[in-house]
Structure 1
Amino acid sequence: MNIKVLLAGAIAIVFSFSPGFGQITNNPKVEESSAAYVKIKRVELTDQFTIVHLLFTEKSSPQPLFFPSPRTPDQRIPKEFQGTSSIWLDPETRLYKPGEVDKKFKFIKADNIPTDSRKGVMPGDTVNFVAYFERLDPGIEVFDFYEGRSSGGNQSWNFYGIHIKNPLKKDAKAPQAAAKVDKPVKKPVQPAPKPKVEEKQEPAEEPVAAEKPKSGLEKMKTGKMAVGETISLPNVYFETSKVDLLPESYEELNTLVDLMKESENIKIRVEGHTDNVGDFDKNLDLSRKRAESVRSYLIEKGIAADRIEAKGYGGTRPLAKGTSEVERSKNRRVEFVVTQM
């Protein structure tokens, strides 16, 4: 018996070092999630897939939670599920490298949860399910899981800042180091302006207000803030469909600069948000770049770079649920979150 145990242990060790065995992160750290009743239990990396193991726990409340809204008549809620909750996994779900919207990894398949129909759940039920995606590139040790935006009473499952074990391959480090040494420093070339026809894609816009809304910086002036608190910057504006700050933004941002210089221990995360008009990925990219524009402005004014993060959420975190222009304008915003006091 002891010999068999030792043999089994030796085989396990051999497989754990095999390139095809994969890298496993149990109960990974998740910085933020849109639904507390869905947890990521494990992330496994194989040669072919990024495998995300999740646990859904239905609330005891009878309030329905439909995920997401049906796209075709075939996906409408069956009669036997009416009055209960139902779940499914959107096949458009994808993984992103934070800050790089073009670096996305597509959904492949799922186990124990439908992607073209619905699964009924009763209060207190739990569902273990698995989602398979394209393999994350080695070196990406933090990623985001995006289903999309919540709407119409339906809750999407988004996870931000999922930390995993995925080290860069050793043989990939040397060429990168060599490239940094040999590559000459060049002044970046400004791209040519895009033709006006691209405006038809209707990405989110930031209108200039006739009257200045009340800024959240007033609370910052009093010193009554806490880590995790969100402060609004309603007087920060951008050119339509672009990331360039308008001069009307400078007064508010300069006030923030002064306050951060007075309180040298404060660190913040600038967050960009758009409405839900237009392409989801483009809005996500636009919101990130606008947050980065604010960060760059603060750095240029003398705030240390390590005191400011920047992140874009696109239309995934709306303040208003309506579809009117007034409601959508509330969702086009820039905020910051206090990350350290």
Structure 2
Amino acid sequence: MKNLLITIFTLSFLNGFGQLITKMPEIDDQTSYETDITKVEIRGGYTIVSFSYQVSQRKSNSYQFQFPFPNQNQQGSNYTISFNPKSYLNGNGKRFKYIKCTGIPELPEEKQVFPGEKYRFTVYFEKLDAGIETFNLIEGKNRPEERHQYWNFYGVHINNPLTPPPAVTKKSEEPEKEEEILVTIKGKLIDAKTNKPIAGKVLYRFDYDIQKADSVKTSATGEYSFKIKPEAYTFVASAKGYENAQESMDLSKIGKSQQFSQNIYLNPVEKVVKKPEPVKEETPKPEPKVEVAKEETKESSPVKIEENKFRLDKVFFEIGESKLLPDSYEQLDGLLKMLKEDPKMTIVVEGHTDNVGDPTQNKRLSLERAYNVREYLISKGIAGFRIQFKGYGDTKPIADNNTEEGRKMNRRVEFVIL
């Protein structure tokens, strides 16, 4: 038996623009009543399904992506959501593939949600054939042993006739436009020694298309600002009398317009003072050569855990801090050697923490640790666009956080060869 509110079955037609809209469609059955389909649109080459999600105050452990924590007094939410890119629509015995989603991350990425708040997101599928007026939306197969529950909807009723009604053209009607997502990057160019702002220029280029680039001059106070689409970029900053510096940012997963601050620090070019040539004196007889053994640079190779994934198990930080400890350099030099031996190799450095403390602070700490690993490699001559960095906080444990040994294993840095 279903236990859901009576839905209003509303049909709207905007056929002048080749689209059909069904608001609040009637649904025969569904696996979660915290998630509602608010609208189904058939337009262009897509079937577009709009959702509304709200965490229940009486949520149990079987709901989608709930992570129970042992410390129930900690602040923050225990619940996250995401959408399975392997989902599909099924109508008249035919499958229609998933295309993309907005407002919600794809698995394995996750979005933290809070009880009482409402979240809206949209999922795009292949366009349903005309005449299919009932379909199933299958996100995945639910199993008792899984820690999450997929959202499946059975018998979604929409208006999609085999022969659409004649188009009605109104001058005032315009097709709905999707909101364009733009990311604003603001910051300053700063002298790395004096911490004072400096005037210069900032150029950005697309990591996936180096031919596409643009630049902007800073103000007299060193401030710059870009408004760009969410992609992966490398920023190159330059100023007279300073060495160039670069920063890489992967913004491709951004789902809504946001603003970020990114200061770029430039090192002054050291002036070379020519010393006067010494007065030539009589060359003394050479002393017998004594060979001194050179101290070899210590290297420790990263630990391979998957085909293209490695763990830096000898990279160390103070607890709660992001600064690299000197004992880390030995293994980082092993990674440095890999990057120098293969100039085409690009990687993403991933930071992880245990679950002690605030989850938001843990994610920030893991991001800063991954960033500092990247900065060390750049200081040794590796181009910044070859190294991305991410921080996952405590969301991807590999051991039990209830033991000290498990928490120690979860505090780690890994990298993936892209």
With normalisation by structure 1, the TM-score equals 0.44
The structure carrying a bigger helix percent of its residues is 1
Structure with greater proportional strand content: 2
Name the TM-score, length of structure 2 as normaliser.
0.37
Report 1 or 2 for greater relative contact order, CA contacts < 8 Å, sequence distance ≥ 6: 1
Greater C-alpha Rg: 2
